[in-house]
Each structure stands twice: as structure tokens, then as C-alpha cells.
Amino acid sequence: MKTTKELFDNNRHWAKRMTQINRRFFKDLAGQQTPKYLWIGCADSRVPANEIVGLLPGEIFVHRNVANLVIHTDINCLSVLQYAVEILEVEHVIVCGHYGCGGIEAAVEDQRHGLIDNWLRHVRDVYQRHHHQLKRAKDKPSLLRRLCEFNVKEQVVNVANTTTVQDAWRRGQSVCLHGWVYDIHDGLLKDLKVSINKDNRPANPYKALEMTVTRAQGLAFKGKKQRQVSRRPQAPAAKRSVDG
């Protein structure tokens, strides 16, 4: 069994290595905190925010919870958001989910998990809202990946509707919201293309998300129809007359 002593040993090695790289690292770090990014991610231990994007301590402000949820009654998350936007004046708020999320999977399982079921109720709400598109998934892994993406998009909308972000935009502060997904199978990030800022924010973000989903459904249906047409057997070409 590992003990916490190993963690202290690792800490000393890390501090020594950082000092060797930059002798002023900790002195500068203690002097100020000026991150440009707020990361709202999952508590999963396989998703370390700093390492994923190659940033050092002090360069990204981080909030994590199960399934990267932004809930309007969660004072913890809202307090982090307010501090990041109003005090640190971050320029970007990133909601990042990840494929293989245990919270996402637990939310669709037909069994009890205890206290966390109350928290995962919000993911189940996302599932219900997008059920018609999710039921088209070819298998469970595909469904979970799509639900992960929908969940991130919904949380970006939730961030956009907080009083903190709405007030920031009203006073002209430049804060851009993003929705990303991290793939633990290859270590790469995927941009879900749902960025919102003070210049392109819709009057009703939830309606805009609904329109995006509807548009995606329409494109998928159109693509399916085109594939069906292309598979239809072609009628034989008519023989040309050879009458003299």
C-alpha cells in the first residue's frame, strides 16, 4: 500500500526541478496570479487541466466537479466563476468534458448510485432533452460520446446565463465561452464549436442551442437520404436505335 510519504517525496523533486528550470519560478508565482483562462472540468483524475493544455501553475484557474456541471444553485461553482471573471478578469471560460466519463455513464444506467444520483439528475435532464437524437446512436459507446458533447454544450449555455457573465458582457468586458471535449484515448481536445462572446451572444442561448441541434438533425437526415438514393439500383440505359 502506498503512503502519503511518496507524495511529499514527489513534491520535493518537483519543486527542485521547477527551480532548476527557472530560479524565479516560485518567487514570481507567489507575487501574482494572472491567468487568462478559467477551466470548468470533470473531477476525473485522468483529466489534469494544466497538463492537457501545456500550461504552468498560475496560468489557468480551475474548477472541477463530477461531469463538469454548471448549476445555478451551486454556490461553489458560481463563486469560482465570479472570482475568475470579476477579480482575475479571465478572458476565456472553458467547459471541458471528456469521453469515458463515469458520471455520464452512471446518469443513464438504470440503477441507484446513492447521493450522487441527485447531482447526476442534471445529466439525465440533458439526456431527456436530446433523447430523440441520442436514440439514433448505433451503440452505447456512441450514445455516451454524444451525451458527453450535449452535456458540455448545455453547460456552456448555463455559464452564459449566469449573472456574472451577463453583467460582464453588459459592461463591455471581453469574456469568451468555449465548449471542449477531451479524449482520454488519444489525449486530444475537440472543439465543439459553440463559443459565445459579448458580440455574438444570442438573445436566448437555450433557443440557439436548440436550433443548432435541429440543424444537425436536418443535416444528418439529408445525408441519410442521399446515401439511400445513391444505393438504389440504376435503371439500365436504353439501347440506341440502329435502324438503317
The set of residues, in sequence order, having a beta carbon less than 8 Å from that of 19 and lying 6+ positions away, is: 25, 26
Integer Cα distance of 39 and 61 in angstroms: 6
Active site residue 191: no
Asked if 42 is an active-site residue, the reply is yes
Is residue 131 flagged as an active site residue? no
* Of 17, 23, 46, 136, catalytic: 46
Question: What whole-number distance in Å separates Cα of residue 116 and Cα of residue 136?
Answer: 28
| Known catalytic residue at 101 | yes
Among the options 63, 77, 92, 101, which is catalytic? 101
User: Is residue 96 among the annotated active site residues?
Assistant: no
**Per the residue annotation, which of 98, 122, 145, 178 is the catalytic one?**
98
Segment 43-46 long-range contacts (CB within 8 Å, at least 24 positions apart): 44/98, 44/101, 44/102, 46/98, 46/100, 46/184
Active-site residue set: 42, 44, 46, 98, 101
